[in-house]
Chain A
């Protein structure tokens, strides 16, 4: 028998699977077999690494080398060069977007180097389907400690001292919620994990549920013990099949080890967890709507004059926390509140996971200390704006977050600072927009999403969003009128104060923040009938500059409506009356002769 000398950590996150990660696994397995290396090199399918745009990702240990964007045809070379001869295959390494230098290890890639991994402590390191691997990373030791050495009150005190605030958007103090639920009268108490991550472009919670399901489960068991809950639910959205699969396996294994069920670790405490699959409605991420959904009713929020911590599921005291919040709990128990609060800001301790997407060079999942500036996230970790374009705005907090302009890039990111800027932390979405983005169009885009996702129960949210969309649409189509901006502000104000739930209250953010910071763009659309970013199709025209046109015919070929005429050596011409402004000619022109005005 031979010892294994290398672990090949193949990312098994949804992103890497989508880019062919599992096919790669089969090919790699076959190649290792062929070269007689099967018994000394072990393939481990891990959770998401967060660098999803560059998948499939393979990390080779103990050499600590990360390969990105692997293709099946790369495998034989990788095996013969690196695995047999110890030569790193440079062309398969990550290349710095600016210096073009190849970077062999994860720690040297700026995207990873500046992160502070706590919630994502096991990312890319363990096989999420193996409970032992989680235990090997200190897993369930916090649970053992909590049950053996701490009273429920001591646990709540410790969480309180840590300053942990809800990672799902509200930013409510976790310990306070736990204490209310613990002291509320009720025959049974429930805990819920909100895994209904519905923000477009956000995948923090998915990554944790898929890649490290036990960290969530352990947090929930500790929380349930502290609260006195006997039953837990993990509410996962329908669109996350891998998260459901991995969570289900994790629950089965935890049950088999006696970490769930009756008399956990001989402590006398009993608790179990059930998975509940959401139907894919954005509103079900709202806590009271989520509880309705678990009870089999339509997912609609209810008035909050009675807290769900007192009367939640089946009118019993119920504590709901987000995936990331739960995953933080074992860390606080293991390392103490002082350790937890040692990073972050005064009002927002610890780290936050963001999904950094949009116009940045490094797209992916990042965990950073609270209080880091937007600039550090976007420029240092994100590697700056793609194609050397100018930064315009960053939208934080999901579809109902606000757009923050360049002048506030040095704002420290925490719950309170983002709110002050007219945006919010939300669950950690971060969409970066470059100079080619029209802010009115962006506001319209998010409102269009929210119109479909509002439950429609209360007047301000339902009707307000309807008129938002009508007004924004007419502005982007050049039909805007004087007073439209003021009307938007009035409706938004009514929604903020009058809506039933937080979705309605925050839904005006994309509109209000773009008016606040980009009012000139609204005015340009309304008064001059111009779209400064040249995005709104009804306000732009396409033409070909005869001086720079080389008559290559490429534009003519891609035009879907055949509105471009021209022959060899004759500059081409666009017929504006037929042009549908699809931008195809603009994208394809090799000499930038196509002009948008």
Chain B
């Protein structure tokens, strides 16, 4: 195919489809690049800055995020230059100060050989990767979440931080959250997503009485997928 390009990855020549994000190419070749805001189901966002790599093109070296930088002919990509390691380490240290008790962050820092202790701790498990906001918009299509404020007070939340009226309680945000910051709980027939102040009644199976999913979620899917009215009357086991 004529839209194949040749790049080098840490010195090894590789053929790749033009435009493929460098991160995907590296992963395919088992070259480790840490990421915190990447999910294959989402459009690359490039904000955690953990996936930085050094590229050289026409003699000019740059540091770019591999999650969204597209492969192009003649690109030389290096994932572990001194510059990359140094920058990635300070980014890791900044995140470690933000979430110093978060297991995922602590483990990643340890893997990258980054120690904390130099910076004032913030103690916020949300690392602002934005995956919750993006999944709700790009995958679920509900857009119940957005960012509030800017700078250091930026946080993901519902409009006006009020209990969400659009959240369907699907829990996608919980599944994609890399740090476990978003807390969800099913209790006595109600699904709570505490971060969004959401409490949704669960629908029950007309046969076995088991809880299926929040009624609002089932209504939403039925509507968007144009399913029959009684489609979710029964749970998956009873069908």
Q: Which residues of A contact B (CB under 8 A)?
A: 281, 283, 298, 302-303, 305, 451-460, 462-467, 470, 483, 487, 490-491, 493-494, 497-500
Which residues of chain A are near B64, meaning CB under 8 Å?
305
Q: Which residue of B lies closest to A497 (CB)?
A: B87
Counting CB contacts under 8 A, is B221 at the interface? no
Q: Point out the residues of chain A lying under 8 angstroms from B97, CB to CB.
A: 463, 467
If the complex has contacts A283-B150, A455-B154, are A464 and B94 also in contact, measured as CB distance less than 8 A? yes
Whole-angstrom distance between the Cβ of A183 and the nearest chain B Cβ: 17
User: How many pairs of residues, A versus B, come closer than 8 Å at their CB atoms?
Assistant: 110
Q: Is the pair A498, B150 in contact by a Cβ cutoff of 8 Å?
A: no
- Bound-state Cα–Cα, A354 to B86, Å: 37
Looking at A454, A465, A466, which has the most chain B CB atoms within 10 Å of its CB? Answer: A466
Given contacts A465-B151, A494-B87, A500-B46, contact A459 B70 (CB under 8 A): no
Q: Is the CB of B63 within 8 A of A497?
A: yes
Q: Which residue of A lies closest to B98 (CB)?
A: A463
* Inter-subunit contact B49/A498 (CB<8 Å): yes
Query: Separation in Å of the B158 CB from the closest CB of chain A?
Result: 15
- Least CB distance from A176 to B in Å reads 15
Chain B residues contacting A500 (CB-CB under 8 Å) are: 46-47, 49, 65
Q: B residues within 8 A CB of A451? A: 151-152
Interface size bracket, B side: 35 or more
Shortest beta-carbon distance from B63 to chain A in Å: 5
In the assembled complex, which residues on chain B have CB atoms less than 8 Å from the CB atom of A298?
146-147
With A456-B128, A493-B86, A498-B49 as contacts: A467 and B94 at CB distance below 8 Å: yes
Q: How far is the CB of A296 from chain B (nearest CB, A)?
A: 13
B1 → chain A, closest Cβ, in Å?
A: 21
A-B contact pairs, 27 of them (CB 8 A): A298-B146, A303-B44, A303-B68, A305-B68, A451-B151, A451-B152, A454-B152, A455-B154, A456-B128, A456-B153, A457-B47, A457-B154, A458-B47, A459-B49, A460-B87, A460-B90, A465-B152, A467-B94, A467-B120, A483-B118, A487-B118, A490-B90, A493-B86, A494-B87, A494-B94, A498-B52, A500-B65
B199: interface (CB < 8 Å): no
Q: What residues of chain B lie closer than 8 Å to A303, measured between beta carbons? A: 44, 46, 65, 68-69
Q: Contact: B154 with A456, CB < 8 Å? A: yes
A454 nearest in chain B by CB position: B151
B208 interface residue, CB < 8 Å from A? no
Q: Which residues of A have CB within 8 Å of B238?
A: none
A463 touches B94 (CB 8 A): yes
Interface flag for B119 (CB, 8 Å): yes
Any A CB within 8 A of the CB of B234: no
Chain B residue at smallest Cβ distance from A487: B118
Tell whether B122 is near chain A: CB-to-CB under 8 Å: yes
Interface residues of A, dominant DSSP: helix
Residues of A within 8 Å of B119, CB to CB, are 467, 470, 487
Task: Provide the bound-state CA to CA distance between A465 and B153, in Å.
Answer: 12
4 interchain residue pairs of minimum CB distance: A494-B90, A456-B154, A463-B94, A303-B46
How far, in whole Å, are A305 and B149 apart by their CA atoms in the complex?
26
A452 and chain B: residue at smallest CB distance? B151
Q: How far is the CA of A457 from the CA of B154 in the complex (A)?
A: 8
Question: Are B87 and A456 within 8 A (Cβ)?
Answer: no
B83 on the A face (CB < 8 A): yes
Determine the distance from Cα of A464 to Cα of B46 in the docked complex, in whole angstroms.
Answer: 17
B95 near A459: Cβ-Cβ < 8 Å:
yes
Q: Is the CB of A305 within 8 A of B69?
A: yes
